[in-house]
Every structure is written in C-alpha cells, then in structure tokens.
Amino acid sequence: MKIAFIGLGNMGAPMALNLLKNGHTLNVFDLNQAAVQTLVDAGASASASPKAAATGVECVVTMLPAAAHVKRVLTADDGVLAGIARGATIVDSSTIDPASAQAFAKLAAERGNPFVDAPVSGGTGGAAAGTLTFMVGANAGVYEQVKPMLAAMGKNIVHCGDTGMGQVAKICNNLLLGITMAGVAEAMSLGVALGIDPKVLAGIVNTSTGRCWSSDTYNPYPGIVETAPASRGYTGGFGTDLMLKDLGLAADAAKSAKQPVYLGALAQQLYQTMSKHGDGGLDFSSVIKLYHDVGAKR
Amino acid sequence: MKIAFIGLGNMGAPMALNLLKNGHTLNVFDLNQAAVQTLVDAGASASASPKAAATGVECVVTMLPAAAHVKRVLTADDGVLAGIARGATIVDSSTIDPASAQAFAKLAAERGNPFVDAPVSGGTGGAAAGTLTFMVGANAGVYEQVKPMLAAMGKNIVHCGDTGMGQVAKICNNLLLGITMAGVAEAMSLGVALGIDPKVLAGIVNTSTGRCWSSDTYNPYPGIVETAPASRGYTGGFGTDLMLKDLGLAADAAKSAKQPVYLGALAQQLYQTMSKHGDGGLDFSSVIKLYHDVGAKR
Amino acid sequence: MKIAFIGLGNMGAPMALNLLKNGHTLNVFDLNQAAVQTLVDAGASASASPKAAATGVECVVTMLPAAAHVKRVLTADDGVLAGIARGATIVDSSTIDPASAQAFAKLAAERGNPFVDAPVSGGTGGAAAGTLTFMVGANAGVYEQVKPMLAAMGKNIVHCGDTGMGQVAKICNNLLLGITMAGVAEAMSLGVALGIDPKVLAGIVNTSTGRCWSSDTYNPYPGIVETAPASRGYTGGFGTDLMLKDLGLAADAAKSAKQPVYLGALAQQLYQTMSKHGDGGLDFSSVIKLYHDVGAKR
Amino acid sequence: MKIAFIGLGNMGAPMALNLLKNGHTLNVFDLNQAAVQTLVDAGASASASPKAAATGVECVVTMLPAAAHVKRVLTADDGVLAGIARGATIVDSSTIDPASAQAFAKLAAERGNPFVDAPVSGGTGGAAAGTLTFMVGANAGVYEQVKPMLAAMGKNIVHCGDTGMGQVAKICNNLLLGITMAGVAEAMSLGVALGIDPKVLAGIVNTSTGRCWSSDTYNPYPGIVETAPASRGYTGGFGTDLMLKDLGLAADAAKSAKQPVYLGALAQQLYQTMSKHGDGGLDFSSVIKLYHDVGAKR
C-alpha cells in the first residue's frame, strides 16, 4: 500500500518505520530533516510538502502535536487536501479535541476523502514495538479498510464509533487516568503518614475495591512496582505536560458540552502545579511529590 | 473457643452466626432484643451487658457503628473491660479512626488484654457467606492467634501491621474507592455527552490505563455491569452514607496528620450533595446522578 | 472625532449611542441589520463591511463576543486592517484572552496602527448610562489619546499597563468574583442549614473579615439585598454563561502560564453544573441553588 | 460584678485584664501558673480549680482551645458545674462547634444556669485593646444581661440568635474568609504571572466586583497593604493553623448538616498543605506561597 506519513516525532518516526517493515511504500514529510533522513535511510521517499507527500497515495497518516498543526497540514496551500486523490483516506493519529476531528472530517468529506481519527495509547515504547492501541473513530466500512494498515503499527485496534469517537475514548480514558493517579498518590501518602508500610497498603488496595492500573501497574510510590517510573526517579513514562495536554482537552470538551468535571479540573491544577515547579518533563506519577516527600528534592 | 460477640446489626449478626456454625461457643449482646433472639435461636447465650458477655471468654468481638459506641462498650461500668479475664483478646471489627483504635489498645493493654483492630470489607453479602476480607492491625503473635477465628467469618485475612494499621488500610482503600467511583462517573458522563456509546467506552477504559474496580466490576453507568447496583436502580450495595462515613474518617485522619487530601475532600462534597438530596441510602455509585441523567428522577 | 464602531449587540449598541450623544461621528457595522438601523436612526452611517467602516476614521472600536470574531473582523479580506489609515487607533472592548489581544496588537503594529485592549465592566445598565469601567491596556501615550473618547462611554477609565493588561485585569477580577460568589453561597447556605437567620448572618459577615462585594452588594440569598438579582428570582444581572466564559478565559490563561487556579477551576465546574441544568441564563448568583433550596424549583 | 475567668492564654489573659480594668472582681484559673500570676499581680484572685473559681460568682467566662477542654472544665468533678450557684451565667468565648455549644447549654440549663456562646474575632490585638467583636448566641433576656460585661472586652457585641448561633456566625464568616483569601492569592498570582503590576491589579479589584476584605485590607501579596502580614514576612496576624481549626469546624458542621462546602473543603486542603510544609505558624495569607514565589524560600 502506498502511504504518506506526516509528522516524524518521537511517536511518528517509529510508527512509520513499522509501516515500512510491513512492506508498505512511504512518502514522508517533517520539518525536521534529521527525522526525515532516518526514514529515507530505511527506505522511505522524502517529500517537499504535505501536498507532495499526499499526491498519488492511497492513505495519508498524520501524527502531530495539536489540532492547529493538523489544520495547517491539511488545509495549507501546500497541504494534504491540495494533493490527495479523491477517495484516498486520511488517518489522523494525533490526540486532538473531538470537535476539531469532526470538523476536519467534514472538510475532507467535501473533497471525497474519508477522515479517520485514530489516537493511540502505549507511548514511545509501544510505537517502537508495534504494540500501540488505536482508538478509531470512523464508519464501519472505513474502519475495516484501515484496520490492516493500523495493525502494522499496533496490537489493539478498537472501533469506538463514528468520526471523533476515537478522540472521545482517548480523552475520557486519560481524564480518568489523571484522576486515579492523583487519587492513588493521595491514598498512599495518607497511609504512609499514618504509619502503614507502603507495600502492605498497595498489596491490600490491589486486591480490594481501590484497585486500579495507577496502583497495581504504575504505582506512584517508589519501590512498589519495579518497572514503574516511580522506581527510577520518575524518568521515562508519560510526561506530566502530556497528561496536562490531555486533561486540557477533556476540560475544553466538557466546557463545550456543559458537562462538569469536578475531579478532572482539580487534578489538572495538581499537575499544573508540578509543571510550574519545573517538573513537567517527569512522569505524571510524580504528582505524588505534592503530597509526600518521596526522597526527591521537593 | 468461647467468644463474646457484641453488636448484632446487619454485619454483626451474620458474622456471629458463622462463628456458631464453625463450632464456637457464643455469648451475645445487643440493645436490639430481636437481633439477640435470632442468635439465641441459633445456639448463642444472651448476656445482660457487655461486662457479662465478656466474663469468662477467651475472645471478645465487637462490631459497632462508630468509635463512640466502641468506647462505651469497652469502658462503661458494665462494659467489656470490667468483666474480661486478663489475657483474653479483644477484636474490634468496627470501622473507626486509627487514633481511637490505638487509644483503645492502650487502655486494654493496661489491663493485660491484647486489642486487635480488624475492620472488614465485603458488605452484608460477604458477612452472610463468610467471605469477608479482614484488615488486621496487631503484632505478629496476636495476629496468628486470632487468624483462625477470623477465618470462620472471612476468606481473606490480611495482616496490615501493628494496632491501628487495619483501620489505616481500610480508610485509605475506601478513600481511593470514593475517588475512583466519582472519577468513573465523571469520565463516563463526559463520554456519553460527547456522543460515544457507554458500553464501548467502558470496554476501552477497562482494557486501558483508566481501568479500575469502579469501572470494570461496579460501573456506575446503568447496563454496563449486569450485577452492579447501577443496573438495578442503585439499590443494595454500599450506601452513599456509609461511603460518607469512611471519607469523613479519612479526612479527619488527614487533618490530624496535616496531610492534604484534595480529591478525597472534593469527592466527599459530591457524596454529601447526594445525601442532602435524600439519596444517602442509595448505593454510592449513584453519585453519577450529579453528572448525568441516568434515567432516574434527578 | 470620526469613529468606526463594529459590534452592535446588547453592550455595543448603547456604547455607540453614547459616542453619538457626545458629538462623535460614527460609521457602524453589524451583521444584524435591525441593530444597524437603530444606530442609523440616531445619526450614524451604515457601512457595508468592517473595511468600509474603518476607511477614513481616526479610531475603530470593536465590541464582539469572542477572540475568533475579533480576528475575523480585523484580518478578513474585507476587514478593518484592509481599510484603516496608517496611524489610526484600534480599541477592542471585547473580553478575550490576553494572548490574543497581544497578537492582534502585533498585527496592527505591523501596519502602523496602535491597538488598545479595553474590556469593560458594568453590564448593559452601565453601557446605557455611560457609567462603564474601562480596563485599558496600552502604552501611556496611546492611553492618554483614547481616554477622552472612552470617557464618553464610561465613568472609570483605568490604565492597567501595556497591551493585554486590560484583559488580565478583567479576567483576574472576574475569576475572584466567581470564587467569592460561590463562597458566599456556600457560607450563607451552611449558616441557614445550621439555624441562623440569613439577614443576621449577612449583617455579621458584611462588617467582618468575610466582607465582599458578593455579600454586601449582590448577596445570593433572597431578600438580603433588595436590589440584587437574588431578590427578583435571579433575573437580569450577569448571566451564569457569561461568568462561565470569563472563568474559561482565566483557566486558559492559567494553563498557558502554568499557574494553578484551584478554586477558580472548581467554581467553574459549579457554574457549569448550573448551565447544564438549563440555568445558564440566570444571574450567576443563582449558583446558590446548588447548595440550598432558595424557594426555586431545584 | 464578681466573675470567674478560666483560660488565660494569648486571648484570655488580656480579656481578663480588661475586665479588671473595668472594675470587675475576678477569680481566675489556668494550668499555667505564670499566666495566673500575671492576673493576680493585676488584682485577681487565683483559684485552685474551675469549681473553686465558679463558687460564689455571678458569671463564669471560659476561653479555651477546643470543645474537649470546655467539656472538661464544665463537667469534671472539680469543674464549673460542681461549684456554680444556681442562676449564675456561663459565657464561653472559645471557638467550638455549634452542636457542642448547644449540648453544654442543655447541661447547664438542667442546673439552672444560662449558657451563652460568645466567640470573638479581632485577634490578640483586639483582645488587648478591648476592641474585640463578640458573636453572641443566647436568648434576648440573657443577651441583654451579659452585654455590659462583654462591652468591657469588646467594641462590637452582636446578637446572632439563640444558643449556638454565635458559633455558627463565627465559623460561617471564617469559612468565607478562608475561601476569599485563597481566592485573592489565586487571582493576584495569576495576574502577576500574566504580567500585570500587582499594585495596579489590587487597585482595580478593590474598586470593582472582586473587592473583599482579603484584598483591600489584608492583601496576601507583599507590598500592597503596608499594615498586612504579607508586608512583614507573614508574621503576626491570624495563624494558618488557627484558620485550619475554623475550617475544620465548618467542615464538621457541614458534614452533620449534610451540606456541601465545595470551596471550603478545597481551601482547607490548601492551608493543610502549608501546615504540612511547616508553615502553620505563619499568617494564613501566606497561602499565596502555594501559587507564587513571593520572595520567600518556597
């Protein structure tokens, strides 16, 4: 399959490599020439613009930081919509707000191009290993069409509903993740302050009704889960500023829908405090530092 | 083993019955004579006071609403400490604040009686089936001593550390439970408001990083988990007012420890709003009504 | 002075009328022809576009719902910047985010036009009476230049600093207003629930350290301040949805600045709950309904 | 008038001195003998117990840290109720929960003693100067009876309603004070982060709808109000731990009344964070340190 891949950052580059490995032919575009060169070395063709990349392909994949970038890449004079053939599919794997995804889908539909929102979870590790989860918003026919291509980059390809619903699934999950992580930080810190051994407390919670991924797989207290960022100084993992981005998308979507997000809005302020302190690059589980001195400088 | 059982409410009565079934001899006391009669019919002896019940037994079990009741039952002129033999053990299965548990342990120790805090989870269903979880605070020797007796009433007997740590484990777990449930309510309601199918969203969350007991086992959205209270009008289960009691204990313990509980304090206000509206008797997952019209009257 | 006035809504129309009354000559533009006709009847000239309105004037005043509208009015092909003479001043009285104001100022400066942000407080009553407060962001020279014109529409013309600082002052004040109003609602409701007479409580608060505008001038409890919306069913006044807009601007600015707004974010959710319930059109002091049955249907 | 004064701490001692200065005869009691000696030197008689102090007086005044102390002083074997003459009045100026005040009133009434709750505001400065505000809960007859005596210690004597209502007024006012102070800290910090001059912002807020005592009289930003603790390193004033005590009383009363206090509970966590950091002794306006580096070490 002939594919254009636009956006070769920490996530996009390994995703594109996996497409190449699975035998697809790739046009690539990024403003960062070093990133482009890596893909060219692996067999891709460099394009001079999103328009050039999109010309003559069956599918365009975009992986960009925010909705504003997606808009520019799609609608600029030298953008994707200026070059893409009628009927070719656009798959946006960026995490953006659902309303923008739906607006882009409308724009694309006017030109005869199906638009699919397919944000991912799994981080840079999952991108490299080809084990990402794709949350896909598309009608059933288009979903079946893009599924094999996505399977070259991910392990779980989940159909979430029509356009925009991939983004909805992503931000709702991450809203809950942001809340549960801060909740675990709060409960673990309280327990330790009251004298319980943190491993004992985690053991009880993990076999009881407080059980959650933030506790049993990614516990923010150091030394509970050996593979979690908490056990290596909160390095690697999912950065606080990335969590803030997703909580911001959730809060904005909630505002549009006039839907209160009490705990989410409060959790957002907690991560924002971390970011203000210069810890936006640490894994988001470092939010526990607001509750407890875990051996770090704060 | 000769045991005194004091407090024959919704939890205490079935627990006492399980002790009888396992061959123990029981003195029972409660202000409610109907509750006492049920136990007497099953083979227990009725006592005229906590003091009388405690006289001549190897172990006293208390299961009472709050610390004030435990204090009265232990220290009144006709209370447990006035009758109990030196060396006999006191096991309090009430959910109370850790500091009170530690104060009672000190009082009991002065008379030569080990005191064990052993709050439970599992609800009235677990009490009847003998499948409760006991979170036990005691030194190792006393823990080994009471474990077989507790095993007659429960399935999981967990040693949480010294006196008070059973209570710490219980309130920290339930603090987190109160937060995650409100978090799931928030995320599910936002998703539905944005157009996603609630079953699809729950399916994604439950296999992703938002996964938690409040979502995969006890989801507050109707129709997601057939056995959850949400699928039967929020009846049965763990009442909002009971959750409020536990969040209150957590908040008070946090205040004493000068430990912030941002999300817990906010969750407490949400459940308090439900209680104010007259819904304190509904299962605590009904907190979703604050976010979303789930077919109920609010 | 020859002025273009763009945006003749509930606020803009009476403001423009006051400019006419003070002897200024006006070009006006709005998409709503009825609004335009009212101004024409009062002596203004109707223009076919923002560009046409801006052509040949010394000053352009814009009064629009949001930053997106200001951007379109300024930068469209038939926009203000396409028609305005070099050196003429642009005064934007819309309430928008400070970053957009600063971006517009940069665009305008490139064409040689000073740009002033001058959001107002005082509501439609103040607009009609010419008693608005203008919070002005501009350098000192430009401020002195526009001050006399603003004085035709308002009573207090306050210099807040350079471009953008008018918007900063506005959103910070309204952030605090949204918090204090919900705080008064909370304190009054708690007091009444505990048995105190609301007039007695308000009297004490208003002469003590809890004193604030939301309590002494605009108390949300019915019957405390006769002229407040609470005493007429929460009609008129400053709508909940307008407060939500301003809290949204504050939250977004805080996000950009990585500055936590704990209470503001929570207050936002409270007003959002009101809006979700269909009460977005009521005065924002109706937030007390979340705490207390004040004789209304909730 | 012959009066017993019990509790000679930072507040009680200067209050008792003012009673002496106004010609009253005083029996005094405190566990701290140095405090007793100061009063004896000024003309008071030292008593060996609350009972002894209360014997033969027309009125007993108590000024103690918490409800538990009041209970002990009233009901112990050597307590006030064991010595006081039938008909003599008890005035408790401690800040405690309204329910305890009402319970003490019931106890006292059973012995024929009117009980008045009369908590104060005004701090140690007001206590020394005799300018305290007394918030008095009592029936009208008893209120008139104690008013002249209270006027020897304070400037504003406010009748808040029946027994308990003095405490209700105090905790509702301080709940609002805790919220408005954190709100001002949030708004000032956001403004400064966005570039506005803090004096300009305070000036605007103080003449606009954000106006409140926490901004115009006690602004938490250094250098805005010269006489405020913020301008002298947050020393003196009303300590964070005292604010925490009052917010705790409000939260507990709200819990009993099933009344949500969203903002109050969140504010409580903010002050609790300060206290955890070792800043419980600083003036409560130092809560701004959580938002902003105001030249201090955090």
C-alpha to C-alpha distance for C120 and C10, rounded to whole angstroms: 13
Domain count of the fold of chain A: 2
C-alpha to C-alpha distance for D1 and D22, rounded to whole angstroms: 10
Which of the four pLDDT bands, split at 50, 70 and 90, describes residue A297?
very low
Q: Which among B258, B265, B275 has CB closest to D265?
A: B265
Whether D58 maps to a domain, the answer reads: yes
Among residues 80-109 of chain C, which lie with CB inside 8 Å of chain D? 98
Distance from CA of D20 to the nearest CA of A (A): 46
Which of the four pLDDT bands, split at 50, 70 and 90, describes residue A154?
very high
Query: Same domain for C48 and C102?
Result: yes
3-state secondary structure of B212: strand
Give me chain D's average pLDDT, please: 96
Contacts of A31 (CB under 8 A, 6+ apart): none
Chain B residues lying within 8 Å of A176, measured CB to CB: 183-184, 186-187, 205, 210, 212, 215
For residue B283, list its beta bridge partners.
B239
Look at residue A196 and tell me whether its pLDDT is greater than 70.
yes
- Evaluate whether B168 touches B137 at the Cβ level (below 8 Å): yes
Query: Among A170, A199, A258, A297, which one carries the catalytic annotation?
Result: A170
Give the mean model confidence (pLDDT) for residues A186-199.
98
Query: Same domain for C149 and C54?
Result: yes
Query: Same domain for A144 and A90?
Result: yes
Chain D residues lying within 8 Å of C176, measured CB to CB: 183-184, 186-187, 205, 210, 212, 215
Test B244 with D262 for CB contact under 8 angstroms.
no
Distance from CA of D281 to the nearest CA of B (A): 13
C-alpha to C-alpha distance for A170 and D49, rounded to whole angstroms: 68
Look at residue D298 and tell me whether its pLDDT is greater than 60.
no
Query: Residue D108 is part of a domain; what is its CATH number?
Result: 3.40.50.720
Chain D residues lying within 8 Å of C263, measured CB to CB: 179, 182-183, 186, 263, 266-267
Chain A residues lying within 8 Å of C254, measured CB to CB: 272
- Evaluate whether A50 touches A44 at the Cβ level (below 8 Å): no
Whether A74 maps to a domain, the answer reads: yes
Q: Which among A168, A175, A266 has CB closest to B196?
A: A168
- Evaluate whether D237 touches D285 at the Cβ level (below 8 Å): yes
Tokens 């800040």 locate to: D95
Q: Which among D156, D194, D204 has CB closest to C253?
A: D194
Query: Same domain for C178 and C254?
Result: yes
Quick check: A247 contacting C, CB < 8 Å?
no
Test C258 with A265 for CB contact under 8 angstroms.
no
Tokens 């875990």 locate to: A294
3-state secondary structure of C174: helix
**In terms of residues, how long is chain D?**
298
Whether A272 maps to a domain, the answer reads: yes
Look at residue A296 and tell me whether its pLDDT is greater than 60.
no
Picking from A256, A296, A252, the residue whose alpha carbon sits closest to that of residue A274 is A296
Among residues 40-59 of chain A, which lie with CB inside 8 Å of chain B? none
Test C260 with A280 for CB contact under 8 angstroms.
no
- Evaluate whether D90 touches D73 at the Cβ level (below 8 Å): no
Query: Same domain for A220 and A143?
Result: no
Whether C295 maps to a domain, the answer reads: no
ipTM of the complex: 0.95
Task: Name the domain boundary from B130, B161, B192.
Answer: B161
Please write the tens of the pLDDT for every residue from D86-131: 999 999 999 999 999 999 999 999 999 999 999 999 888 899 999 9
Burial class (CB in 10 A: 0-12, 13-18, 19+), D141: exposed
Residue to mutate among B190, B274, B294, with most A CBs inside 10 A, is B190
Q: What is the DSSP letter of A283?
A: B
C-alpha to C-alpha distance for A269 and C255, rounded to whole angstroms: 9
Query: Residue A212 is part of a domain; what is its CATH number?
Result: 1.10.1040.10
Query: Same domain for D247 and D148?
Result: no
Residue of B nearest to C298 (CA): B298
Which chains, if any, share at least 3 CB pairs under 8 A with chain C?
A, B, D
Look at residue B296 and tell me whether its pLDDT is greater than 60.
no
Picking from D185, B260, D250, the residue whose alpha carbon sits closest to that of residue C186 is D250
Chain B residues lying within 8 Å of C273, measured CB to CB: 290
- Evaluate whether D187 touches C174 at the Cβ level (below 8 Å): no
Test A263 with B267 for CB contact under 8 angstroms.
yes
Please write the tens of the pLDDT for every residue from A207-219: 999 999 999 999 9
pLDDT value, residue A295: 53
Test C168 with D196 for CB contact under 8 angstroms.
yes
What percentage of chain D carries pLDDT values higher than 70? Answer: 99
Which of the four pLDDT bands, split at 50, 70 and 90, describes residue C293?
confident
Residue to mutate among B97, B100, B172, B252, with most A CBs inside 10 A, is B172
Whether A19 maps to a domain, the answer reads: yes
Chain A residues lying within 8 Å of D290, measured CB to CB: 273
Which of the four pLDDT bands, split at 50, 70 and 90, describes residue A298?
very low
Q: State how far Cα D35 lies from the chain centre.
A: 19
Hey, how many other C-beta atoms are within 10 angstroms of the C-beta on D80? Answer: 29
Domain residues for the domain of A69 are: 2-162
Query: Same domain for C18 and C154?
Result: yes
Distance from CA of A22 to the nearest CA of B (A): 26
Q: What is the DSSP letter of A239?
A: B
Look at residue C298 and tell me whether its pLDDT is greater than 50.
no
C-alpha to C-alpha distance for B238 and C157, rounded to whole angstroms: 58
Which chains, if any, share at least 3 CB pairs under 8 A with chain D?
A, B, C
Residue of C nearest to A278 (CA): C258
Query: Same domain for B50 and B93?
Result: yes
Q: Which among D179, D190, D270 has CB closest to C253?
A: D190
Test A273 with D290 for CB contact under 8 angstroms.
yes
Give me chain A's average pLDDT, please: 96
Chain C residues lying within 8 Å of A268, measured CB to CB: 255, 265
Query: Same domain for C179 and C149?
Result: no
Q: Which among B258, B270, B272 has CB closest to D258?
A: B272
C-alpha to C-alpha distance for D67 and C229, rounded to whole angstroms: 40
Query: How far apart, in Å, are the Cα atoms of B183 and each of A174, A262, B208?
Result: 11, 9, 15
Residue to mutate among C176, C197, C199, with most D CBs inside 10 A, is C176
Please write the tens of the pLDDT for every residue from C57-81: 999 999 999 999 999 999 999 999 9
- Evaluate whether A243 touches A272 at the Cβ level (below 8 Å): no
Tokens 């269909």 locate to: C278
Amino acid code (one letter) for C242: L
Quick check: C174 contacting D, CB < 8 Å?
yes
Q: DSSP of C200-217, one letter per residue?
A: HHHHHHHTSTT-BHHHHT
Query: Same domain for A193 and A155?
Result: no
C-alpha to C-alpha distance for A9 and A159, rounded to whole angstroms: 25
Chain C residues lying within 8 Å of D196, measured CB to CB: 160-161, 165, 168-169, 172
Task: Name the domain boundary from A145, A162, A179.
Answer: A162
Which of the four pLDDT bands, split at 50, 70 and 90, describes residue A229?
very high
Whether C296 maps to a domain, the answer reads: no
Distance from CA of D273 to the nearest CA of C (A): 13
pLDDT value, residue C295: 54
Give the mean model confidence (pLDDT) for residues C170-188.
98
Query: Same domain for A246 and A157?
Result: no
Query: Among B2, B106, B170, B199, which one carries the catalytic annotation?
Result: B170
Query: Among D2, D51, D170, D258, which one carries the catalytic annotation?
Result: D170
Q: What is the DSSP letter of A231?
A: G
Test B272 with D260 for CB contact under 8 angstroms.
yes
Residue of C nearest to B262 (CA): C262
Chain C residues lying within 8 Å of D250, measured CB to CB: 190
What percentage of chain B carries pLDDT values higher than 70? Answer: 99
Quick check: B219 contacting A, CB < 8 Å?
no
Please write the tens of the pLDDT for every residue from C14-23: 999 999 999 9
Which chains, if any, share at least 3 CB pairs under 8 A with chain A?
B, C, D
Reading phi first (left if > 0) and then psi (alpha if -120 to 50, else beta), residue D295 is in left
pLDDT value, residue C35: 97
Distance from CA of A240 to the nearest CA of D (A): 18
Hey, how many other C-beta atoms are within 10 angstroms of the C-beta on A49? Answer: 18
Active-site residue flag, D170? yes
Please write the tens of the pLDDT for every residue from A15-35: 999 999 999 999 999 999 999
pLDDT value, residue D295: 53
pLDDT value, residue D236: 87
C-alpha to C-alpha distance for C138 and A134, rounded to whole angstroms: 49
What's the start-to-end Cα distance of chain C, in Å?
Answer: 52
pLDDT value, residue D116: 98
Query: Same domain for C14 and C57?
Result: yes
Give me chain C's average pLDDT, please: 96
Whether A228 maps to a domain, the answer reads: yes
Please write the tens of the pLDDT for every residue from B239-272: 999 999 999 999 999 999 999 999 999 999 999 9
Distance from CA of C167 to the nearest CA of D (A): 10
Please write the tens of the pLDDT for every residue from D191-244: 999 999 999 999 999 999 999 999 999 999 999 999 999 999 999 899 999 999
C-alpha to C-alpha distance for C290 and B261, rounded to whole angstroms: 23
Task: Name the domain boundary from A162, A196, A224.
Answer: A162
Please write the tens of the pLDDT for every residue from B32-86: 999 999 999 999 999 999 999 999 999 999 999 999 999 999 999 999 999 999 9
C-alpha to C-alpha distance for B4 and B80, rounded to whole angstroms: 9
Whether C298 maps to a domain, the answer reads: no
Distance from CA of B102 to the nearest CA of A (A): 12
Quick check: B266 contacting C, CB < 8 Å?
yes
Quick check: A168 contacting B, CB < 8 Å?
yes
Chain B residues lying within 8 Å of D244, measured CB to CB: 255
Q: Could you write out the three-class secondary structure of A39-57? A: HHHCCCEECCCHHHHHCCC
pLDDT value, residue B69: 97
Test D268 with B265 for CB contact under 8 angstroms.
yes
- Evaluate whether C24 touches C47 at the Cβ level (below 8 Å): no
Look at residue C83 and tell me whether its pLDDT is greater than 80.
yes
